Structure 1
Amino acid sequence: MITERPSPPLQAGERETLRAFLDFHRATLAMKCDGLSDDDLRRRSMPPSALTLLGLVRHMAEVERTWFRKVINGEDLPLVWSRDNDYQVAYDASDSTRSEAFAAWQAEVEHARRIEREADSLDVTGFQPRWGEEVSLRLVMHHLCHEYARHNGHADFLREGIDGVTGA
C-alpha cells in the first residue's frame, strides 16, 4: 500500500490550514509504515527502548481518542489498550499486527475528523483533566500537529534502521 499525502494549502483560512496540516502529519506516519511487514513494524529502535513503528501508530490512536473524543467531545471511555489509563501500554506492540493497530488508529482518526467537522468553530472547548482547564479545539489541533511532528521524527529514525529508507 502506498499512502497519498495531502499538500497543505498555501493560502487558506485557519481551520482549513490546521485540518490539512493534521492530515499531512497523519499521512506521514502511515507513509513511514508503507511496505513493511508486521515483524518490521514491531522492530525495536535500540536497546533498551521498546519504541517501534507499530507502537507509534498505537500511541497516536490513543492521542487522537483522548484529545478529540474524551476532551473535546466529553466522552467517558477508556483508552484503546489500557483500562487503567496507562498511555505507555500502547507502545508495547510486541503482540500487535498492522491490521489491528491501523484499524484502531484509523477509527480514531475518523472520529476525530467527524468531531472537528461538526464543531461550530475552533473556539469550541472541552475539559482537559490533566491540566484542570478548558481547552479549545484550536489548541487540540495544534497539539496534535505537534504530537505527530515529534513522533514522525522518531518514525524517520525507526524506518531508516529497518531498511535504510529516508526522506519525506
Structure 2
Amino acid sequence: MNGRALDENAGMTKQRTEPATDADERSMLEGWLDYHRETLEMKCAGLDDAQLKTASVEPSELSLLGLVRHMAEVERGWFRKVLVGDDPGPIYYSEEDRDGEFHLTDADTWDEAYATWQAEIGIARRNAARFTLDDAGEGRSKFTEDPINLRWIYTHMIEEYARHNGHADLIRERIDGATGE
C-alpha cells in the first residue's frame, strides 16, 4: 500500500465505534454522527499545528484545522440556532469574513479549536436530548423558513461530516501519506 495506514503506525490510538446493526433509529443516527465526529478527530491525530494548518492544494485554504473549526460552527448552527433557537453568534467567521474558520493565523492552535469543537458537540448532545426525532426545532435555518425536525438535523450532520471527512482523507494523505477509512 502507498503511504501509511491511519492506525497505530500513524500514532492513532482513538477507535471509532459503529452503531449496533440492530439499534433503534435514534441510537443509529446518534451513533453514526458520533462515528463521523470520531473520524475527523482521527484524521487530525498525531499532527502538529503546522501540519494541521497545511492547506490541501493552492489556491484552496482548506486544512484539517480549518475543517475542525468549520465543524464547530456547523454544530453550533444546527444544534443551537436551528434546534433550540439560541443564537450565540459565530465563533470564527464574521459578516466581513464569511469563511473565517478557514483563514488561519499563527495564533490559531489545535488545542483551542479542538476544545471549542468538543464544547459545541457537548452542547449539541444536551440540546438534542430534549427533543424527539419528530420534534421541530425552535429556531430556523438560513436556508428555509420551514420547521426542521431533529431527524433531519441528524441526517444532515451525518452528511456534512461524511463530505468533509472525504476532504480530510485527501488532506491527511498530502501531509504525511497516511491513508485509511
1:138 corresponding residue in structure 2: 151
Distance in 2 of aligned mates of 1:83 and 1:133:
25
Pairing 1:153–2:166 present: yes
Partner AA of 2:89 in structure 1: P
Alpha-carbon displacement from aligned partner over 1:57-113 (angstroms, at most 9, x marks no partner): 000000000000000011022011134385411112333110011011000000011
Distance in 2 of aligned mates of 1:136 and 1:69:
13
Partner AA of 2:114 in structure 1: F
Higher relative strand content: 1
2:116 corresponding residue in structure 1: 104
Contact 1:79–1:85 (CA under 8 A) maintained in structure 2: no
Higher relative contact order structure (alpha carbons within 8 Å, sequence separation ≥ 6):
2
2:176 corresponding residue in structure 1: 163
- Identity among equivalent positions (%) equals 48
- CA drift of 1:129 comes to 3.4
Residue ranges of structure 1 left out of the alignment (5+ in a row): none
Contact 2:94–2:100 (CA under 8 A) maintained in structure 1: no
Distance in 2 of aligned mates of 1:146 and 1:42:
24
Moved more, 128-137 or 96-105: 128-137
Partner AA of 1:157 in structure 2: L
Distance in 2 of aligned mates of 1:93 and 1:9:
38
The DSSP-based 3-state class of the residue aligned with 2:148 is strand
1:94 corresponding residue in structure 2: 105
- CA drift of 1:44 comes to 0.8
2:48 corresponding residue in structure 1: 37
Partner AA of 2:60 in structure 1: S
Contact 1:18–1:141 (CA under 8 A) maintained in structure 2: yes
Q: Could you say what the CA RMSD is over the residues aligned between the two structures, in angstroms?
A: 1.4
Residue ranges of structure 2 left out of the alignment (5+ in a row): 1-11
- CA drift of 1:130 comes to 2.6
Select the residue among 83, 86, 97 that pairs with 1:75: 86
2:4 corresponding residue in structure 1: none
Contact 1:59–1:87 (CA under 8 A) maintained in structure 2: no
2:62 corresponding residue in structure 1: 51
Between structure 1 and structure 2, the one with the greater Rg is 2
Pairing 1:61–2:96 present: no
2:18 corresponding residue in structure 1: 7
1:118 corresponding residue in structure 2: 130
- CA drift of 1:118 comes to 2.2
Distance in 2 of aligned mates of 1:37 and 1:134:
41
Contact 1:44–1:52 (CA under 8 A) maintained in structure 2: yes
- Could you list the runs of 4 or more consecutive aligned residues of structure 1 that deviate by over 4 angstroms after TM superposition? none
TM-score normalised by the chain length of structure 2:
0.88
